[in-house]
Amino acid sequence: MKQFNNKVVVVTGAASGMGREYALEFARLGALVAMTDVNEKVLAETHSMVQKITDKYTCCEVMNIASQEDVLAFAEKVKNKLGNAHVIINNAGIGGGGAPVWAQDMDQFQLTMNVNFFSVVSMTKAFLPQLLSNQEGAVVNVSSVFGLIGTPGTSDYCASKFAVRGFSESLMVELADTPISVHLVHPGGIKTNIAKDSKNGAEFEEKYLKTSPLTAVRIVIDGIKTGKQRMVFGHQSSLLRFLTLLPLKLRNWTLNREMSDLRDPEHYELLSAMGEK
């Protein structure tokens, strides 16, 4: 897809960070933007910013992205208000529980998978008929550099982003003979608020989250235009990509050493106590 003027672009997680920048940038490019997020107040701010850029129709919906019923209703609303979607940006996500496996309960694993992975499946299935009806379209699924490599204290998050990767790579093959392109995005170190709720979120942000969301969004849009199927970018993404080439034992040692200062001592006291039982 080479241009987006008068095309319908759907963005999830549009209230802030990369999601907001997707909505604003596509509005600048002349698209009809449909945006959704669970945060009503901040989504309204994004919608207001979009309306200052364009006088074209928009669609704004507060929605629980993890609800399949809500996703199907949103897809129908977009179609009725704006027409069939041309591009879907599956951007919504949460940072996960921020704890090692033994310190994290199953409810957190389920929540992270529902928001980060199953919502991508639901959105894709809901909107794919619209893209096919247009005989033109792009599905953009946002994984993470943590969808390339497992890191400590992020098992639920990594699992969800690895799942997005596997789903997207399969979808690429399945849609290879159609006019629909599939793009898998692995951002690294983007300066968003995704880590704000974790115990060491501020420390993690200061150390790793450096790349501006707008820079990331423009890389993705260029990738859609050129048909690039995998995009890996952002602060320290090259280093993490290099680590995937190392023997697993050496990679694990390197990651353990690099991220040891972000450990919560209480989690490892719990691990010791478990071993004493």
Catalytic residues: 157
Which residue in 160, 125, 139, 124 sits closest to 220, CA to CA?
139
Question: What is the rounded CA–CA span in Å between residue 106 and residue 112?
Answer: 10
- Residue 188 in contact with residue 233, Cβ under 8 Å? yes
CA atoms of 145 and 124, how far apart (whole Å)? 21
Q: Which residue, 179, 178, 181, 158, is CA-closest to 231?
A: 181
Determine contact, residues 9/26, Cβ cutoff 8 Å: yes
Residue 62's DSSP bridge partners are: 37
Cβ–Cβ < 8 Å for 119, 12: yes
**In the sheet that 32-37 helps form, which strands lie side by side, from edge to edge?**
59-62, 32-37, 8-12, 87-90, 137-142, 180-188, 230-234
